[in-house]
Structure 1
């Protein structure tokens, strides 16, 4: 985040979008006020309203890389049903959840036990200890796109638990979050001066994944060193992430000075952040922001339970990503070489899930090391 944006605590963009600013909690922790953007008028508003929303999105994408979306249209009943389904899954005994693991870490589906991933390896940066979270992943299947003959290795079948109502609630959430992600890509295109449907050919059989995360409360009351990672530092891999999360301290994002800031979602909002592929497309005009999750704590630093669910809208596995027109200054070369969605995701997932350090994330790794990571 640029220094000028950090100081604009009261600066407002039209349509209710507030530029991010630093503030302090009662405990002295730095909190970043991620801009709130109401998109409810995008489909019905005129040119002026759309321009205001697009301008607010562009400002957030340039300075923070995160935004809070209000007016997303997802009913509260859908949120409650999804949260109940998530609770029911993670309440299962560990031995039952272990039966839901994918046969290989290269298959990005099913259950992930605590202390089996190191997210920082997706950047090629070793972690001192494995991450504390447990997770469950579902995503796009080849059968979702009949007639395209997509490879099942890229679009594997989901693993569903025998939890009553789980598949229905999770399926409903995926439909809603995926719809929001696609709506946002239309807004992104407008903000970048592109045709609103520009990203459709890159996302019409998108490798979307929903990752449900659980940071369980310890069996006995305890305090932890917050340098132990609930989830290690990383950037998201794809185009855009739609995040539902408890309003519990833990999520932090990295600014351009190397400082970490707590981020708390506002009531009724969904957190949205940009992924690596948008950074590549825009030649870093838009930020794929480094973030991590410390062991979730209350105001007295006692470890508490936290839940989140990240819907990753990642693009077609065979789509080639190269710099967008107009994003490379005259006389310079793009910051990133062209890649495909499938190749990029495979390198990232090999680090986080399979423990094979990603050797092609030099720019992202440099940011993390500059922040003091060993």
Structure 2
């Protein structure tokens, strides 16, 4: 992880059109795979064009977010998860510290509020899945919310599956290689909202919108407003702003894919600064990260061909559920994760916070 580099202080996030993946020629597929491999090796983020998600779906989804986050705080708090281990429901502002997922303490809690939905055991009736890993969702009584969010999950999940087909091709693996690891994937959609709570006028000096972290799973599909705040870290310890181009979705790789590839592909550190206007006032920013994290019981070992001859893998084997539990115990339960020393070292070496 961490080989993302910048030229003249600007970190380029490649834009890749994948529309020809299913309908184009073999040469088209080869070109898409090569572009994805280059972005995965050098940046860990990419912008995806030709994803096929209708603009009307995105508009309805954004309206649904506005409907939920516009509810009174006490009404939103009624949808809080019963425990930090259950990654569902509402998270009020200043209740999480994402940097703890890396084992790095934070001075203050992160500013964002969030609402999570995800894969349920009932979605896989043919399997006896543990509800601790596949809990039931909590739904607000906002008209159209469940339908719009469900449609977005279906579309973003389909894109994540298509990306894994491209990833297998780019890594020289057989078609469908990742399917046994993801056919009952622990997918979570986290909808985020950045805004000062009513009555507050200023932010703390050390306040983060969302603290520095790497994503935990395999791949993330990110929808976001074109409002500044998102930054990613390069190899030299410098932070760089990222704004999605119109019509693109940001995609970044998670820790499990970096472990699988022995850091050939990057799980890039990123954070969100409190979004502000020219006068330093916090402005609204919305985002939604669809995490495609893999089956709870899938074991993650280094992929064939990713360890040089005579060398040992950089990471020990782990399971999806074990890795996610360690990460979530940091961000949601406030416990330092002691099993991310490589990621923690990168954050401690970063410049300007």
Which TM-score bucket, shorter chain as reference?
over 0.9
- Counterpart of 2:44? 65
- Counterpart of 2:338? 359
CA contact (8 A) 1:106 1:350 kept: yes
1:48 and 1:204 map into 2 onto residues whose CA distance is 28
- Counterpart of 1:341? 320
Where in structure 2 are the equivalents of 1:122-271 lying within 5 Å? Answer: 122-217=101-196, 219=198, 224=203, 227-271=206-250
Q: Give the drift of 1:240.
A: 0.2
- Counterpart of 1:371? 350
1:339 and 1:2 map into 2 onto residues whose CA distance is 23
TM-score by length of 1: 0.91
2:55 and 2:201 map into 1 onto residues whose CA distance is 33
Matched, 1:301 2:285: no
Q: List 4+ stretches of structure 1 deviating above 2 A.
A: 217-227, 298-302
Q: Give the drift of 1:356.
A: 1.0
Match of 2:275, SS state, is strand
Question: Structure 1 60/227 Cα, relative in aligned 2: closer, same or farther at 3 Å?
Answer: farther
- Counterpart of 1:79? 58
CA contact (8 A) 1:64 1:287 kept: yes
Q: Give the drift of 1:6.
A: 2.9
TM-score by length of 2: 0.96
Match of 1:309, SS state, is strand
Matched, 1:278 2:257: yes
CA contact (8 A) 2:99 2:212 kept: yes
Q: Give the drift of 1:251.
A: 0.4
Question: Structure 1 201/226 Cα, relative in aligned 2: closer, same or farther at 3 Å?
Answer: farther
1:295 and 1:226 map into 2 onto residues whose CA distance is 11
CA contact (8 A) 1:226 1:295 kept: no
Question: Structure 1 77/227 Cα, relative in aligned 2: closer, same or farther at 3 Å?
Answer: same
CA contact (8 A) 1:249 1:298 kept: no
Match of 1:68, SS state, is strand
Matched, 1:34 2:9: no
Q: Give the drift of 1:298.
A: 2.9
- Greater shift in the superposed pair: 222-231 or 204-213: 222-231
- Counterpart of 2:33? 54
Question: Structure 1 78/352 Cα, relative in aligned 2: closer, same or farther at 3 Å?
Answer: same
Alignment coverage as a number of residue pairs: 352
- Counterpart of 2:6? 6
Q: Give the drift of 1:228.
A: 1.6
Question: Structure 1 363/373 Cα, relative in aligned 2: closer, same or farther at 3 Å?
Answer: farther
Gaps of 5+ in 1: 8-20, 24-31
Match of 2:67, SS state, is helix
CA contact (8 A) 1:125 1:357 kept: yes
* 2:96 counterpart (79, 97, 117): 117
- How big is the alpha-carbon RMSD for the aligned residues of Structure 1 and Structure 2? 1.6
Q: Give the drift of 1:224.
A: 4.6
- Counterpart of 1:17? none
CA contact (8 A) 1:221 1:302 kept: no
CA contact (8 A) 1:227 1:294 kept: no
